[in-house]
Structure formats: structure tokens, C-alpha cells
Structure 1
Amino acid sequence: MGINKKIGLFFCFCLTSCYFGANESSEEIINNYYLAKWDENTWISYCKDIDRIFDIEKIIIGHNVFAVGNNEDFIIAKQHPCENNDLHFMDYDSLKPNRNITNYIIIETRNDGCKLHSFNNEKDYNNERIRFGIPKSLVYQFYDNELE
């Protein structure tokens, strides 16, 4: 391989090296709802185009999601909000979770669209689960013990 080709390959690698460190992944939960992961953080995104699930306007539950379960009609989740209350998305200095607060979330997946219910205490969340008929047997299939 000639020196020009080596320099060209090195230059291309330098241009894309930030992308290689991203560690981005996703998996569909159900009906266009995705568990989107970027490095050590997890979001829930609602999008009909998998290529756009990391777009800010598609994120319905911000970072620090640590528990997700679902059946055909509902997604249940737990999330710690960030210590930084300012609007932000990928400012890594701002992503530190406030473990003193847990948000409990129910997402209705029965109809096309996104209907989200959020509670800041477990009692209200459990009462709403009963009202919606969400069985106690519905457990969290994704659980991040380190973030809990």
C-alpha cells in the first residue's frame, strides 16, 4: 500500500473516530416504541422510522431510564431525572441521575400515537396500574441495577 493510501485511510479514520466511540444501540419494545441506548444511558423513543429514534423530538422519556416492561397494551418504566433541571439532551456533564427521585411511567400502546402517564410516587403509579387493569404479573424485562 502506498504512502498516499495510508495517509488517506488515516485521515478517514480520524474523521469517523468520534462515531466509533458512540456505542449507540436500540431495540424495539413494541409498536414503534424503542429502548434507545447511547453509551451508559437509556431513553425511550417513539418513532415510526428506526433511523430517527435518536432525534430529540422522538425521545419521550429522557435519559436515566432504568426499568422497562411491556405487554400488548402498555409499557411500564422507571426513570431517575437528571440532577441538572435545565433542558439538555447530550451534555454528558448534565446526565447525572438524581437517585432521590423516581418517575414511574405508564405508556398506552393500544392506539396509534403516544399517550404517556407519569407519576412521581409509587402509590399513585400503582393505583393507576389497577385502574388501567395492568396485571401485577407484568414485570420489568429490562432492568439496570447500576442506575437503580
Structure 2
Amino acid sequence: MKKLTILLFCFCLTTCYFGQNESYEEIVKNFYLAKWDENTWISYTKDDNNFFDTEKIIIGHNVFAVGYNKDFIVGKKHPCANKDAHFMDYDSLKPNRAITNYFIIDTRNDNFKRHIFNNENDFDNWKNRLGISKNLTYIKI
């Protein structure tokens, strides 16, 4: 019985391994989708191991759709339901799915520009102004 208890305990430790639910993938030009459990951020880093550093995150949690080409990253995110000031408090990252925010990241220069919109009309107008195709495909996250 003691061996079974130890075995179950060891199994629980391996299934709850901290960091196991972290992942990342490069979008384009040192911009990354950084994922932790069910939340996704966009970070920018030239270091290969700083994807989750709060100073590297340029679009906060709850990103759910991203499209890109060689010059721009566009996407959608839900704002956080928690209105208190926080950035990486993992217990309070619940999205408000009734609201969608939109963003454009201009990657044409080393000093990227980030544009964030509260409505789709303004987002579409900026996409048109920047020459971003209306047919840019989104990857659902």
C-alpha cells in the first residue's frame, strides 16, 4: 500500500509539472505567440528564451486570433474581465468574451508600431490605410 501511495504521489507531481503548459511559436520577425494554459500573449524578443518576460509582452493576454504577412501582424483579443491593475496574475486572467479588441503591429522597422482598436470599423479603416489585405487569413488560437 505504501508503494502504491508513493507511486500515485510521483505521478501527480509529473502531471502538475510547472511550466508544462507553456509553449511559444514565432509569428514573424522575432514576434511570438506565448501561451500559458488557455491564455495567449504576443511578445517581442530577440532572445530565444524570454517569451514570458513581462517586459517583452506587447499584446496582453486573451489573444484568440492572429493573421500576418511579412509587414504586419493583425489580431483579435478579449479584454480581461478583471478591471483591477494587473499584468501577469494568472488567477485573474479571465476574458470578457462580450468585448473584442483589435490590434495591428507594424513590423516594417526595428521600432515596431502597435495600434489597438476598440471597434472593428476603426480596425478595418486602419487596415485599409496601411494597405493590409481584407483577405488576410486568421489563425484561431
| Superposed CA offset, 1:52-93 (max 9, x none) | 110001011111000001000100010001111223233233
In the other structure, the counterpart of 2:3 is none
1:102 lines up with 2:103 in the alignment = no
Structure 2 letter corresponding to 1:139:
T
Q: CA deviation at 1:116?
A: 0.2
Compute the TM-score of the two structures, normalised by the length of structure 1: 0.81
Q: Quick one: which of 140, 143, 146 aligns to 2:140?
A: 143
What is the aligned partner in structure 2 of residue 32 from structure 1? 30
TM-aligned CA deviation for residue 136 of structure 1: 1.1
In 2: Cα distance, 1:61 partner to 1:86 partner: 17
Q: CA deviation at 1:18?
A: 4.0
Which residue among 85, 88, 107 is the counterpart of 1:87?
Answer: 85
1:4-62 CA-to-partner distances (Å, cap 9, x unmatched) read: xxxxxx7xx96xx6425x41000000001000101111100011112011000101111
| TM-score, length basis structure 2 | 0.85
Over the aligned positions, Cα root-mean-square deviation in angstroms equals 2.2
Q: Determine what percentage of the aligned residue pairs are the same residue.
A: 64
Question: Where is the helix percentage greater, Structure 1 or Structure 2?
Answer: 1
Matched pairs, number: 132
Q: Distance in 1 between matches of 2:37 and 2:116?
A: 25
Instruction: For residue 115 of structure 1, report the CA deviation from its aligned partner.
Output: 0.7
Structure 1 stretches of 5 or more lacking a match? 1-9
Other-structure match for 2:46:
48
Alignment of 1:105-144 (within 5 A): 105-140=103-138, 142-144=139-141
The CA distance in 1 between the partners of 2:114 and 2:18, in whole Å, is: 32
Contact in 2 for aligned 1:67/1:143 (Cα 8 Å)? yes
